[in-house]
Amino acid sequence: MNKNRESGFTLIELLIALFVLTVGLLAISSMVYSVMNSTSLSKETGTATTLMQDKMESLKHTPVSSLASGNDTVQLGNVEYLRQWSVAASANTRTITVTIDWASRGPHNVSMTTLRGE
C-alpha cells in the first residue's frame, strides 16, 4: 500500500507564514516612521541652534549702549522659529539670553546665555 502523497505547503502553513511576514513588515514600517521623525526633529534643532548662535554673535558685536531686548520670527521651510533675546544689566555686566521656540509636532526650544562686560 503505497499512498501517493503530494509535497507542498498547506493552506494553514501559508496563512501562518503570511501572518509572520505581516507582523515583521509592520514592525519595520513603525521603525522607519520613528527614524524619519527623529531625523526631522534633529534637523529643526540644528536650524534653531544656528539661528540662536547667529543672533548671539550679532548681539556680541553690538555696542553695549545699544543692547536691547527684542524678538523676531524666522520662517524656514514650513517651520516658523520665534527668536527672543533679553538683555539684563547688573553692575558692569550685561546678561544676554537668546531663546528659540518652534512648534513642530509639539513645542520645542533651545536657549543660550552669556555675560558681556562694558
Q: Return the percent helix, strand and coil in the chain, to nearest 5.
A: 45, 35, 20
**Higher pLDDT, residue 10 or 98:** 98
State the average pLDDT over residues 102-116: 91
pLDDT of residue 37: 87
**Higher pLDDT, residue 63 or 5:** 63
Q: Assign 4 a pLDDT band (cuts: 50, 70, 90).
A: low
Give yes or no for residue 1 having a pLDDT over 80. Answer: no
C-alpha to C-alpha distance for 86 and 97, rounded to whole angstroms: 5
Q: Assign 74 a pLDDT band (cuts: 50, 70, 90).
A: very high
Q: Partners of 71 in the beta sheet?
A: 84
Domain ranges of the chain: 11-117
Q: Are 114 and 96 in contact (CB under 8 A)?
A: yes
Q: Nearest Cα to 81, choosing from 46, 113, 116, 56?
A: 46
Torsion angle of the four alpha carbons 26, 31, 36, 37, in this order, in degrees rounded to the nearest 10: 100
What mean pLDDT, rounded, does the chain reach?
89
CATH assignment, 11-117:
3.30.1300
For the stretch 28-44, pLDDT in tens is 999 999 899 889 899 99
